[in-house]
Chains A and B, each alone.
Chain A
Amino acid sequence: MKRFFVFFSALCLVLAALPAQAVQPVKIGMITTLSTKAGYLGEEIRDGFQLAIDMEKGRLGGIPVQLLVGDDGRKPEKGRQLAERFIKKDHAKILTGLVFSNVAMAVVPMVVRQGIFVISPNAGPSYLAGRGCNKNYFNTSWQTDNLSEVIGQYATEQGYKNVFIIAPNYIAGKDNVAGFKRYYKGRVAGELYTTLGQADYAAEIAALRSARPDAVYFFLPGGMGINFLKQYAQSGLSRDIPLMGPAATDERLLHAVGAAALGVINSSQWCVDFHTPANERFVAAFTKKYGRTPTLFASQGYDTARLIGSALAAVKGDMTRTDDFRRALEKADFTSVRGSFRFGPNHFPIQDFYVRRVMAAENGGYTNRMLKKVFNDHVDAYVGQCKM
């Protein structure tokens, strides 16, 4: 009887341990913004990320993964709570999803010190690229200033001498304007800082008209951009004074703005009409699964998942091999949908940047088409401050 009991206990142990070792998936905590007006950004990132998992039937890099998604509501304290829950309760070793810089600043410095990896698909504040860089923090999108630097360079190349600037009066607004001015060599016709979340831009548009600029640089993310573009088109100025902005007209926004966005110049590291096999596969699968055209944010979510997959494959899903996992991430051994992709010493991408122009699409809607490449292997401005 006693022997039977020992045997039985052993059998139980083995049975209990077996599934735990064989199919325990790697947990990935996604802290992203799904509510508030900006919630579509998180939705795009999550859908792009999930698509990469689904295309591998629940795996990334051949390793089973479990994606845990939490909504930070754009609030730093909520982001912290989610991070604690994913790390303490779910024992996740990888966090991702961060959309906004203010949430990233609350979460990233706290968790990377605990040896947790953060792979940001969007938020790239200057502090984390420079003085606050960390060996466990990676960014797969861009440093916040980058997309505005592209517009600055484009304006210089176009020979614009007199550009009007409009941006909301908050940190990212100031950072973007600084990025624009870093590469724009002409004169500033006027500079307006609006209230965050402002709806009516009639006063600003009238001031802009009287300044008679060659072109307008605008950084008005989300609903603010929709308001501005609609009102700008009605003012009749869009015929004479071109608009340019960083990632200003993603496909979701275009749906709401329609013809009022025609001709708007915007910068991106990716465009839906890139003819690479990896991108065509992504765009086709995304459109089939979700019934809409992916935005650059969706492409960032997808690339982030594929990057994590490449590193998981390198350590065979063993997240205790942190140094190997980090080295594998640094190699960035995956085919990005944007083409060339590698990490700089501060773990931010070194990549090409493009400007796109809003055109009418074949199916009757509006979409972005590649106009020209502006930067080759562009490096952010803060890399020199990073001591890792």
Chain B
Amino acid sequence: MLVVEQILNGLQLGVMLFLMSAGLTLVFGIMRVINLAHGSFYMIGAYVAATVTARTGSFLLGLAAALPAAALAGMVVEFLILRRLYHRDHLDQVLATFGLIFFFNELTRMIWGRRPLFMEAPSRLSGSVELVGGLQYPVYRLAVILVGILVALFLYLLFSRTRLGMRIRAGATNREMIGALGVNIPLLYTLIFGLGTLLAGLAGVMAGPLFAVEAGMGDSVLILTFVVIVIGGIGSVRGAFIGAILVGLVDTLARAFLPALFRHLLASPSSADRMGAALASMSVYIFMALVLSVKPAGLFPARE
């Protein structure tokens, strides 16, 4: 039963990571921009949702306000700043977007103060529910898994069935060619960036009732997100989905079972705790190294 519960936890972490990494992998793969500030849009989503939810008492209104806010913020940043960076090298992009992290963290502190915001799960989704075999599981986490799977489906349809999706895929494979075919590249880039930050904002809204809504909340999730897109293959949404689920499962299961495993293997409980905790926090990176040693371009590289 514990294993089932931990697998659910891993799935839930995985779909959260997917929402973050889907946008980032598109931006990275198509626009070739390393956007370290992606976590800031996650934070914007959470802050706007927390504020609107607190004012109106409605989680749905909070969600409805946060998604356009994150998308809009993303498009403004793309228009004002990133456009100037496309032809620069990666170091310049890293510097500029790293600066944006500080800018947004300080901005949220100026607007909302240092005190973390309060955000609650909607009452219908609070508490826990009994699944098969007496397993108690929080309803909200189930809802997060559901939303993540729906978004994955939506993106699948968007990319495989629509003209916009076709252009985005074409852009990931050969940017110069679709430009030569007359596609409005600047507009396409702004849209992609907006879509990416919208998904990050959605992840932020989903995170609000689970995590502390505070300045800098996006920074810790960003590292795992980069791990996901490197494992999945840069530019591939399918890779981001598989990578996110794998990373979520590896991280959760390692945290859940490694300490106990080491207690069985080692005689001294204190060194077992130390080893278990250390290895659990490294597990994702070890996993990444293993994947890359077999498939250096990630599981599903967009460009062969």
Out of A40, A227, A234, name the residue touching B128 (CB < 8 Å): A234
A residues within 8 A CB of B141?
202, 234
Indicate if the CB atoms of B215 and A37 lie closer than 8 Å: yes
Indicate if the CB atoms of A234 and B2 lie closer than 8 Å: no
Asked if A363 is at the interface of the complex by the 8 Å CB criterion, the answer is no
- Stretch of A191-199, A321-329, A368-376 at the chain-chain interface: A191-199
Nearest-neighbour CB distance to chain B for A180, whole angstroms, equals 15
A234-B128, A234-B141 are known contacts. Are A226 and B136 too (CB-CB below 8 A)? no
Indicate if the CB atoms of B116 and A202 lie closer than 8 Å: no
Nearest-neighbour CB distance to chain B for A354, whole angstroms, equals 25
Binding site for A on B (CB under 8 A): 1-2, 5-6, 9-10, 12-13, 114-118, 120-121, 126-128, 136, 138-141, 207, 209-217, 220-221, 252-253, 255-256, 259-260, 269, 273-274, 276-278, 280-281
Indicate if the CB atoms of B278 and A169 lie closer than 8 Å: yes
- Complex Cα distance, B273 from A231, in Å, reads 23
A202-B9, A255-B118, A257-B118 are known contacts. Are A207 and B256 too (CB-CB below 8 A)? yes
Asked if A339 is at the interface of the complex by the 8 Å CB criterion, the answer is no
Indicate if the CB atoms of B256 and A191 lie closer than 8 Å: no
Least CB separation from B127: chain A residue: A236
Known: A199-B221, A234-B121. 10 other contacts (CB 8 A): A169-B278, A193-B277, A197-B220, A203-B252, A203-B255, A206-B5, A210-B1, A227-B211, A234-B140, A258-B120
Asked if A380 is at the interface of the complex by the 8 Å CB criterion, the answer is no
- Complex Cα distance, B216 from A199, in Å, reads 12
Indicate if the CB atoms of A206 and B210 lie closer than 8 Å: no
A residues within 8 A CB of B6?
202-203, 206
Indicate if the CB atoms of B216 and A236 lie closer than 8 Å: no
- Complex Cα distance, B143 from A182, in Å, reads 42
Nearest-neighbour CB distance to chain B for A47, whole angstroms, equals 11
A 256-309 contacts with B by CB, 8 A: 256-259
Listed residue (A207, A255, A259) with the most chain B CB atoms within 10 angstroms of its CB = A207
Out of B207, B253, B281, name the residue touching A169 (CB < 8 Å): B281
Indicate if the CB atoms of A203 and B126 lie closer than 8 Å: no
Indicate if the CB atoms of B116 and A236 lie closer than 8 Å: no
Indicate if the CB atoms of B211 and A206 lie closer than 8 Å: no
Asked if A36 is at the interface of the complex by the 8 Å CB criterion, the answer is yes
Give the secondary structure class of A's interface.
helix
Can you give 17 contacting A-B residue pairs, CB < 8 Å? A193-B259, A193-B273, A194-B255, A200-B9, A200-B252, A202-B13, A202-B252, A204-B255, A206-B5, A227-B210, A231-B210, A234-B121, A234-B139, A236-B136, A253-B116, A255-B118, A256-B116
Number of interface residues of A (CB under 8 A): 38
A 19-37 contacts with B by CB, 8 A: 36-37
- Complex Cα distance, B207 from A37, in Å, reads 17
Asked if A252 is at the interface of the complex by the 8 Å CB criterion, the answer is yes
Nearest-neighbour CB distance to chain A for B51, whole angstroms, equals 13
- Complex Cα distance, B14 from A203, in Å, reads 13
A residues within 8 A CB of B139?
234
B residues within 8 A CB of A255?
115-116, 118
Least CB separation from A197: chain B residue: B220
Nearest-neighbour CB distance to chain A for B6, whole angstroms, equals 6
Indicate if the CB atoms of A169 and B136 lie closer than 8 Å: no
Listed residue (A39, A235, A257) with the most chain B CB atoms within 10 angstroms of its CB = A235
A residues within 8 A CB of B138?
231, 234-236
Indicate if the CB atoms of A223 and B212 lie closer than 8 Å: yes
A residues within 8 A CB of B210?
200, 227, 230-231, 234
Least CB separation from B216: chain A residue: A37
Indicate if the CB atoms of B273 and A223 lie closer than 8 Å: no
Least CB separation from B125: chain A residue: A234
Asked if A43 is at the interface of the complex by the 8 Å CB criterion, the answer is yes
Least CB separation from B213: chain A residue: A256
B residues within 8 A CB of A258?
118, 120
- Complex Cα distance, B140 from A209, in Å, reads 18
Nearest-neighbour CB distance to chain A for B279, whole angstroms, equals 11
B residues within 8 A CB of A256?
115-118, 212-214
Out of A40, A43, A200, A227, name the residue touching B13 (CB < 8 Å): A200
Out of A199, A234, A252, name the residue touching B127 (CB < 8 Å): A234
A193-B273, A256-B212 are known contacts. Are A234 and B126 too (CB-CB below 8 A)? yes
A202-B9, A234-B127, A255-B115 are known contacts. Are A223 and B217 too (CB-CB below 8 A)? yes
